[in-house]
Structure 1
Amino acid sequence: MSKDQWLPRPPVEGTSQPPMELRPQATRFKAMALDRALWRVGVVGYGRLGQSLVSHLLTWGLKLGLELVFVRNRDPGQTAGSVPPYPQLQNLTDLGEKHPDLVVEVAHPKIICETGAQILRHADLLVGSPSALADQATEQQLLEASRRWNHAVFMARGTLWGSEDITKLDAAGGLQSLRVTIATHPDGFRLEGPLAAVQGSVPRTVLYEGTVRGLCPLTPRNSNTMAAAALAAPSLGFDRVIGVLVADLSLTDMHVVDVELSGPLGPTGRSFTVHTHRGNPAEPGAVTGSATVTAFRRSLLGCCQLPPRPGIHLC
């Protein structure tokens, strides 16, 4: 698949309509734009997800009441030729000079751990790497900074299917267990620590099975869906939601996500159960699947519509 195939398409000649997935929100954003200045958005990270997001903002932002005010990438040369010079930010410490309303992180959990609290001093924050919150100190720092500066922390749900239903069930006391299994080709994993040395010699190898808190540091870029599940079910959290990572040699162009949950035993002695199985097409060796890109755009639009209240919110 070429780069042009996964980057957002430019407007079709003769039409000014945004892509289909953006149209339901367009009216609300146009109204918002009439009532106030454009919603100023900064993007940190310029990998596949960041490139798609930046291209979308440059193409459709003004129609949706959004303005791209900066792009920050570890390697400035990567944005050369594809991002106009004016929104590039050399140092993240200077982001306050751009006066963003929202900063979007699509880089690496380290960005949230190291600078998330500082970002909240200036703007709301949309986190594309929820696995950062497996670190309890980071979670506490974000909460404190959010309350101190009156800015919201939004967590992208990514490819987690049924996150709202999980949250509702959890709030009602009906969630007993939650298990998320992610399977893909070994080339699609970015493993760290002990997992990096694991070599699967069979077609399907379970690399990890245990708490999501224990998994996130070992594969921070492949555990974001599991982290979103832990955030969607606070009664279980990172220590009781189970994550399973599977290397499957047959999944050369697909990420498969299974979510299994159960409730407490009912009067009949049986539990309420749900099992969803989702296939997310992906380029060979890619960390980010195609459905993840679309889901993240929706998270961006969704958090801009929510009232900016302090705290951590799944979006």
Structure 2
Amino acid sequence: MSLAERVSRAWYRDSAWLTPLRPLGALTARVARRRLGRLRKGPDAAPVPVLVVGNITVGGTGKTPLVIALCRAAAARGIKVVVISRGYGARPPSLPWTVTPQQSAAEAGDEPLLISHATDVPVIIDPQRVRALTAALDLQPDLVISDDGLQHYALARTAEIAVVDARRGLGNGRCLPAGPLREPASRLDRVDWVVINGDGPFRHAGGVPMQLDAPWLENAASQERVPLAAFVARYPQVHALAGIGDPERFFGMLRGSGFVVQPHPFPDHHAFVADDLALPGDAPVIMTEKDLVKCRDFVSPRCWVLPVTATLPPGFIDRVLAQLVQDTEI
């Protein structure tokens, strides 16, 4: 187990060896509160609505499937959306950079490339999100969605959604480095919506439940689709590969579907190579959509992807879009 994995596990178990780090966590919380106070005084408002979808914890919570669901719903209602993203790990020729489905994950970043593949909306990456927003406005959108960026206070925003993993919640409730929080837990009281992903003990007043549904598996080489239940009946034992913020969430989803899983976790945003997929035996290899965009050049017919769709309460996305884009029809 790597040091990062040990620390992450300690955050969610509130291990005693983290106690000396509590003063540093309190300092992080104090700085975050001051920065949030400056945010509330405002950067200047953008000329179009800006929705930030992010989280307050380190690691994955399921925000990218939510961004994809919002983009698809907006497109169905005739709302022109541009997505902006930091583009973690991307190495584009210049910045800001417009992502297209034909690019590589090394050039575009895995999450921006996944969003581009899944939605066909313009995706602009730049670590300086204000510069990304300026480039997005040149495309004359009706709505800009920022994938992550809740703590990027220089970015003007109209509304915020914070996504929390129901199983892991807020860990020990402390800020970095004593815990997994980027900001104090009270930050959730100041966003417009808290979306709670999956099943678990975490609760928040007014929280909106979200489930990631996966009705089928798709072959990474041939694009053949097989219903999940039929696949489990045919191949009950599988390898599962995940280089995401919380690999156990993916492995647990497969186990819950009836698979006997041999897990292969990798660090978030891992740059896969062909040898990573050369797993022993002949059992199928199942991966996430985020990982597939980094493996397209060397996948084999043995490799399958589990596409997920964010499912939210009826009318929730309609209400979000109507609040942001005034002429939206519901």
Q: Is TM > 0.5 for Structure 1 vs Structure 2?
A: no
Give the TM-score normalised by structure 2: 0.32
Give the TM-score normalised by structure 1: 0.34
The structure richer in helix per residue is 1
Greater relative contact order (CA < 8 Å, ≥ 6 in sequence): 2
